[in-house]
Amino acid sequence: GAVVSQHPSRVICKSGTSVKIECRSLDFQATTMFWYRQFPKKSLMLMATSNEGSKATYEQGVEKDKFLINHASLTLSTLTVTSAHPEDSSFYICSANSGEDTQYFGPGTRLTVL
Amino acid sequence: DAKTTQPPSMDCAEGRAANLPCNHSTISGNEYVYWYRQIHSQGPQYIIHGLKNNETNEMASLIITEDRKSSTLILPHATLRDTAVYYCIAGYNAGNMLTFGGGTRLMVKP
């Protein structure tokens, strides 16, 4: 299947700093990418839909000014957690549509905010 | 997306077939049934999907009832590495978001 990568795989930061997470489709172009968040022992929750060349669409309750999404190319979307706080500590996962009827997920990024 | 219902957990003996049920009684005619699994601390892994017909690939088989209100994922010979949370999702196509429910935690035991 298609490959989606994320970088970094894990990050620890101090409260108040910003963290950028990259999501790349390695062997296909993705006009749409999705960002999910997963808290311990919970299921994945969609945060936003990222469309290449346009503004992201955020789910209800997700602050767009706090979680900045940039989909600058057909193979790269970035999620920036601004002014991170301990409650933002979570597992962030992206996915991309390969153009077939399937979404492929990245390996996830574990964010810990101290 | 239609809501899906799965048992929260199941056990399976290593080497035996694992049959994971999913109920999606409100699925619409053009919604697919997708199955993903998530091994601890990893991103979800695509397994298989189908619309009306049964499907088989190198990982699993998907059996969809004729009325499409339920389906079963079959892992023919479960191994310890198949221990994971399995998610059944009803969705229009991969260009749309996928709504994850609670999934089934499958424990494969020696």
Residue B43 is nearest to which of A1, A49, A108, comparing CB atoms? A108
Task: Give residues with Cβ within 8 angstroms of A55, minimum separation 6.
Answer: none
Local structure of B110: helix, strand or coil: coil
Each residue's pLDDT tens digit, A4-49: 999 999 999 999 999 999 999 998 888 889 999 999 989 999 999 9
Q: What CA–CA distance (Å, rounded) separates B7 from A83?
A: 39
pLDDT at A110: 97
Average pLDDT, chain A: 92
CA distance A84 to B8: 33
Q: Could you say which of A32, A97, A107 has the minimum Cβ distance to residue B43?
A: A107
Proportion of chain A in helix, strand, coil states, percent, rounded to 5: 5, 55, 45
Instruction: Give the mean pLDDT of B69-80.
Output: 97
Interface touch B49/A1, C-beta < 8 Å: no
Distance, in angstroms, between A21 CA and closest chain B CA?
15
Residue A101 pLDDT > 80: no
| Bridging pattern class, strands A10-13 and B70-75 | unpaired
Structure tokens at A30: 């993705």
Containing H/E element for B20?
A: strand B18-23
The pLDDT tens digits of the residues spanning A45-59 come to 999 998 888 889 999
Report pLDDT for A1: 65
Average pLDDT over residues B95-110: 90
A44 in B contact zone (CB under 8 Å): yes
Residue in chain B nearest A40 by alpha carbon: B41
Taking a C-beta distance cutoff of 8 angstroms, is the pair A67, A83 a contact? no
Indicate yes or no: CB of B94 within 8 angstroms of CB of A110: no
Tokens 């059996």 map to which residue?
Answer: B63
Q: Do B101 and A34 touch (CB under 8 A)?
A: no
Taking 90 as the threshold, does the pLDDT of residue B76 lie above it? yes
pLDDT at B91: 86
Q: Element (H or E) spanning B36, and its range?
A: strand B32-38
Asked if A106 is an interface residue toward chain B (Cβ–Cβ < 8 A), one would say: yes
- Rounded to an integer, the average pLDDT of B61-73 is 97
Q: What's residue A97's pLDDT?
A: 83
Cβ atoms within 10 A of the Cβ of A73, count?
A: 13
Tell me which residue in A36, A103, A107 faces B94 most closely, judged by beta carbons: A103
Chain A residues within 8 A of B42 when measuring between CB atoms: 107-108
Sign of CA dihedral A16, A76, A26, A92: positive
Tell me what pLDDT residue A5 has. Answer: 96
pLDDT computed for residue B94 by the predictor = 59
Residue of A nearest to B39 (CA): A107
CB contact (8 A) between residue A103 and residue B46: yes
Q: Where are the alpha helices (DSSP H) in A1-81?
A: none
Angle of CA points B62, B64, B65, to nearest 5°: 150
Nearest CB partner across the interface for A49, out of B97, B99, B101: B97
Least Cα distance to A40 among B93, B41, B50, B72 occurs for B41
Question: Is the model's pLDDT at B15 over the cut of 90?
Answer: yes
C-beta of residue B18 within 8 angstroms of C-beta of residue B6: no
